[in-house]
């Protein structure tokens, strides 16, 4: 094996590999779960837990009812920022529980 003068990040290699193997949607879902904390920020991240992501719906468990109400008000903004970060309309809805 020869060394390359242009090393790639493992995240780029995994993305390329998933694309080659046909796991594009699965990789996008994984990426969505990974960027949640950076998109919503530290405060919201501390009050939420990601449960699952399936069929375009992201299920988020919220610490208490007042946070759930606040996040429902912010839902469209969070949804837009998530899809912008993903560079696709992968997340169709966020369900706060």
Domain annotation for the chain: domains and CATH numbers: 10-96 (3.30.300)
> What's the chain's average pLDDT?
83
pLDDT-derived band at 86, boundaries 50, 70, 90: confident
- Selected residue with higher pLDDT from 15 and 91: 91
Give the span between the Cα atoms of 19 and 14, in whole angstroms: 8
Each residue of 43-73: pLDDT tens digit?
A: 998 999 888 888 888 899 999 999 999 999 9
Say which residue the tokens 């090393």 belong to. 7
Residue 64 to residue 77: CA distance in whole angstroms: 20
- Tokens in use for 20? 């080659």
pTM: 0.72
Rounded-to-integer distance, Cα 84 and Cα 78, Å: 10
């Amino acid at each position: 094996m020869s060394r390359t003068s242009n090393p790639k990040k493992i995240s780029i290699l995994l993305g390329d590999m998933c694309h080659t193997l046909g796991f594009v949607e699965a990789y996008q879902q994984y990426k969505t779960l990974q960027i949640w904390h950076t998109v919503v920020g530290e405060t919201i991240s501390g009050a939420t837990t990601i449960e699952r992501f399936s069929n375009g719906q992201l299920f988020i468990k919220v610490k208490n009812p007042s946070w759930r109400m606040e996040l429902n008000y912010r839902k469209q903004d969070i949804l837009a920022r998530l899809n912008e970060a993903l560079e696709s309309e992968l997340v169709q809805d966020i369900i706060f529980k």
